[in-house]
A and B are shown apart, each in its own frame.
Chain A
Amino acid sequence: MKRLIPFIVIALLAAMSQSCVKLDIIPKNIVTDNELFNTPASVDIYMARMYSRMPFEDFKYMGQWGFENNGWLNSIGIDGTGEAVNRDGITTAFTGERTAYWGQAFELIRDANHLLETLPQYQANFSDELYNHYLGEAYYIRATVFYTMAKRFGGIPLVTKVIQYPANDAEIEVARATEEETWDQVLADFDQAIELLQERSPQEGYANKYVALSFKAQAMLYAGSVAKYNETVSGRLTGVGRKTQVRVIGFEESRWQAASRRYFEESYKAARRVMQDGGFALYRRRWIAGDKQAQYQNMVDMFSDLSSSENIYVKRYLFPTLTHAFDAYNMPFSFRAPLSAGTCPTLDFVELFEGFPRYPDGKIRVTTGNNNASGDYVMYDNPLEFFKDAEPRLRAYVIFPSDEFRTRQIDVRAGVYTGVTPIKPFFSNYAYNTADERYQNLPIFNGSNKTLYLSPREGNGQQTLQYQGQTMTAAGQDGPFFDNGEATLTGLYVRKWLQTTTNIETGEGKSAQPFILMRYAEVLLTAAEAAIELELAGAPSPDGSSLLQVATDNINQIRERAGASLLIGSLTPDNAGRDIVRKERRKELAFEHKSKWDIRRWRVNHYEGRDGFWGETRDKNFYSNNENYRFRGLYPFFSTQEGKYFFDTRFQWVSSKTFGYQPIDYYFAIPGGEVAKSPLIDQQPNR
């Protein structure tokens, strides 16, 4: 060590006496605009960076967490939409995101603005068509980011140029614009993008004219709905910021009507252009008229077929480098790898679909009485018989008890009943206020005259009994287990998006199926909804087409492909007609991260508006009180005396979840740190 010291001293001296050379040269390891905007291949690099930051709600997004680009535990439809529930705390109403979409947004906006301001200097490097397309991409990306923020916060800082840094406060600080200005900016940016983008993406993953048109239609439907339905919330859901006196949420009383109508018109026109010129069509590759099996298979296939004529915009994954874990978290319990049952569809969702016996009030019938608390249970030879007439689309979205998945039968059974038949409903009361009474609290389960067998867990946790000389487990191999939320909580599993190939390996980071961010069915539904809203507003058709005819045709196209019955006659220009469109949207676009935005823009999540939560009118007091709401399951039981199955409909039995929502949640809070550090950024005035 001692011998080293002189060397160290010399080395240090040498190092310190170097700085006579001029160091002001461009470092070799930094890529400059000159290099980036040089060839199409180098612009790809710029685009790749922007696209990697795009706020796509796909397999790596969850409502509770926000944009964390994280595939961990990803489930879909669990954010208080009623489509599904799961055991974890992530099953909660969409009242905010753990990672608020704010800082990330401005990084991406800066990249888009930089492209818009810098590319003109390099125009000579590209053909006119490509040059315009690149600018179109920047507008499209900026529109997407503004739109993504506006849905969450209302008015936002509209940063439409690159802000040089450092600079004084006056240049750096940008206040929130009004909500109306924000939507107008979204509209303007989408329109610029539509003007500039090519008809077909020059490269896979790029946007194109129809992508921009489709999202414009979606965004304007959101804007038009907010402007209109804010009026249905007490206090009109509007206010001005404390620091700036700018109307950062909601619309002025004198302006909302015109704004709403204008946005619906823009939505309709954009959707119509996609319909007329886009060349897209609903996926019907395996569809056969009158063949439920084929119609079901067709709708299973469409989510993984990359050549689908319905796909407008697709987020692709690639094994093994760019993957997610949707299969690993959402398959039935017997396939768990390592988790399962992350998305358990609810009975309330199933109730939207056709093909079930019903009570007079429209609820799914499981007994011979007038509601599920009266009469005797109806018996079925096997659980699947109950679903024999179910809409093929529902079967493509949801795995029914005893239906097959990857050539295996999914064994779902809530319990076994050994008492005499006919069987009266297990509970005397199925009302909301008794939702916390469970099957395991019933005297027939834990009393001295035991006739009901249920299982707290799988394997050795199963209760067993003898049936026809054989040992039978109380619960099926796929649950539900009343002390283990790793199996189904509702009696149902999700099927949509799951890979169906049997030989495929599943696990965390092993799934690579694509996520369809925009498909033609949505455009049809958007056109239909905008059309009805325009009729309701007494507005003429923006393009001369018959609004009601277009809406009716669109709904029928979707219903026909889904295997549902067609409309009788035309849709009517009233709330009933509107609700038919809304319900169809709720059904078709379930488990696609869309419904949570729909119930938000319809303003039907808080108690006073909750009758409209399902797109159709349902009495909110059936499934909520003035604080919370819940969802139900569909539980198959086996009767040993009959050798048959029957169903009980009951509020979610396992890992019971309640959801709460207040009107202030229609606009998320601005991140506190952003408000505190800026002299201009306003918090929501109603918080």
Chain B
Amino acid sequence: MRHRNMKYSIILVLITVLMSNSACSFFELDNYDAPDVTLNGEVVDVLTGKPVLTDQGSEGTRVRLTELSWGDNVEHNPDFYCMPDGKFQNTKLFKGNYHITVDGPFIPLQRRGTDGTIIADESIVMDLENTHNVRMEVQPFLQVEWVGEPTVSNGKITAQVRVTRGVNPADFKAKVEPMGNYNDNLLNMTDIQFFVSYSSSIGYRARDERWSTRIDYSGNDFNSLFGETITVTSNGQIPTGRTVFIRAAARINYDTPVGSGVRRWNYNEAKEVLVN
């Protein structure tokens, strides 16, 4: 009995091995080239050429690639987001013909009318084969800049910022009104955020709740304050002897992409502050 069982086991093993071998392609590589295409990009203000700063997260500047080579009914590639300095990079793309667009706190590059037809598309369509650099020129809603240097007293940071429009209201209206649901309230500046964090990648996501603050503005209250110096102060008491990072951001009452309800902020650059 024992002998026969052995024999059956061997036959079974052989059959199994044979069956696994029968799928010969199992051992072959597929005929696709590895995704070795690199796309580097930056999002810049068309007027000043300066990068449009953002927060790295789903409330920052979104990069959407669509590989058109797949045909008409194609879904976009997985979204990714700009780095805080307004640059983006993807080093693992397949060769192909791509539609490249970004959505963020600026006039939408791809604009559709209320019936869904495209009325303007300033996105880039190009063949990607090796390493490419693209420059996305946009019209940011706002520009946020520091005024002078922040000061620290009793664990509180006080800084001054200036917010100006990046796109003039007439231009905004000309481009946004054809997309439907337009009213002048969309242009209202709604809030200034003052983010404080131990992290250098500070922003909406990486902020310390205890110290970050904000100033809200209702209606068009801020209209007279464009270009003026606004003072922002942190909350609570930051422990001494540590370095923190600060950043300010502002946004208007307009969501991008349209209908998403996400109103994205324009940022200034992060600053390092020693609290002592």
Contacts and interface: CB of A to CB of B under 8 A. Distances in A.
B146 to A, nearest CB: 22
Interface in A209-234: 233-234
B236 interface: yes
A686 B210 contact: no
Nearest to B74: A676
B116 A235 contact: no
B261 A432 contact: no
Interface string A176-188: 0000000000000
A235 B209 contact: no
Contacts of B204: 627
Interface centre among A235, A662, A679 (most CB of B within 10 A): A235
Contacts of A240: 114-116
Contacts of B258: 235, 239, 686
Nearest to B214: A626
A237 B115 CA distance: 15
A253 interface: yes
Contact of B210 (A234, A433, A663, A685): A433
Interface stretch (A130-138, A196-204, A241-249, A468-476): A241-249
A368 to B, nearest CB: 26
A166 interface: no
B269 interface: no
B181 A235 contact: yes
B75 A235 contact: no
Contacts of B214: 626
B262 interface: yes
Contact of B261 (A435, A626, A663, A676): A663
A619 to B, nearest CB: 13
Nearest to A676: B75
A180 B74 CA distance: 27
Given A1-B7, A245-B117, A676-B75, A625 B259 contact: no
Interface in B55-93: 72-75
A662 B261 contact: yes
B259 A685 contact: yes
Which of B75, B209, B214 has its CB near the most chain A CB atoms (within 10 A)?
A: B209
B260 interface: yes
Q: Is the interface of A mostly helix, strand, loop or mixed?
A: loop
B181 A236 contact: yes
B201 to A, nearest CB: 16
B116 A245 contact: yes
B158 interface: no
B51 interface: no
B73 A606 contact: no
Interface residues of B, number: 28
Given A436-B209, A627-B204, A686 B257 contact: yes
B255 interface: yes
Contacts of B235: 433
Given A237-B261, A245-B117, A662-B262, A683 B75 contact: yes
Contacts of A402: none
A5 B210 CA distance: 82
Contacts of B75: 672, 675-676, 683
A663 B262 contact: yes
A250 to B, nearest CB: 8
A240 to B, nearest CB: 4
B115 A245 contact: yes
A436 B208 CA distance: 11
B263 interface: yes
A442 B198 CA distance: 22
Interface in A244-261: 245, 249-250, 253
A570 interface: no
A664 interface: yes
Interface string A513-541: 00000000000000000000000000000
B253 interface: yes
A241 B260 contact: no
Interface string B246-276: 0000000111011111110000000000000
A687 interface: yes
Interface string A650-667: 000000000000111000
Contacts of A242: 116
Interface in A399-455: 429, 432-436
A86 interface: no
A676 B260 CA distance: 21
Contacts of B72: 679
B255 A433 contact: no
A150 B261 CA distance: 20
B209 A606 contact: no
A627 B212 CA distance: 13
B263 A234 contact: yes
A685 B116 contact: yes
Given A1-B7, A683-B75, A236 B259 contact: yes
Contact of A432 (B116, B209, B262): B209
Contacts of B74: 676
A238 interface: yes
A237 B181 contact: no
Interface centre among B115, B235, B261 (most CB of A within 10 A): B261
Contacts of A625: 209
B259 A686 contact: yes
A237 B258 CA distance: 9
A106 to B, nearest CB: 20
Contact of B259 (A235, A429, A434): A235
Interface string A621-638: 000011100000000000
A628 to B, nearest CB: 9
* Most chain B beta-carbon contacts within 10 A, residue among A236, A239, A625: A239
Contacts of B205: 627
A238 B261 contact: no
Interface in B227-257: 235-236, 253-255, 257
A249 B214 CA distance: 33
A664 B262 contact: yes
A53 B115 CA distance: 37
A676 B77 CA distance: 11
Contact of A233 (B116, B236, B261): B261
Nearest to B212: A433
A230 to B, nearest CB: 10
Contacts of B116: 239-242, 245, 685
Max chain A Cβ within 10 angstroms of own Cβ: one of B75, B214, B260:
B260
B7 A235 contact: no
B262 to A, nearest CB: 6
A235 B260 contact: yes
Nearest to A436: B209
Contact of B260 (A433, A435, A686): A686
Contacts of B253: 234
Contacts of A664: 260-262
Interface of B: 7, 72-75, 114-117, 181, 204-205, 209-210, 212, 214, 235-236, 253-255, 257-263
24 contacts: A1-B7, A234-B253, A234-B263, A235-B258, A236-B259, A237-B261, A238-B259, A240-B115, A240-B116, A242-B116, A243-B73, A434-B209, A434-B210, A435-B209, A626-B214, A662-B262, A663-B261, A663-B262, A672-B75, A676-B74, A679-B72, A679-B73, A686-B257, A686-B261
Leading 10 A-B pairs by shortest Cβ distance:
A663-B261, A686-B259, A240-B116, A433-B209, A245-B116, A686-B260, A239-B259, A676-B75, A235-B259, A679-B73
Given A1-B7, A239-B259, 6 more contacts: A239-B258, A249-B259, A250-B259, A429-B236, A672-B75, A686-B260
Interface of A: 1, 233-243, 245, 249-250, 253, 429, 432-436, 606, 625-627, 662-664, 672, 675-676, 678-679, 683, 685-687
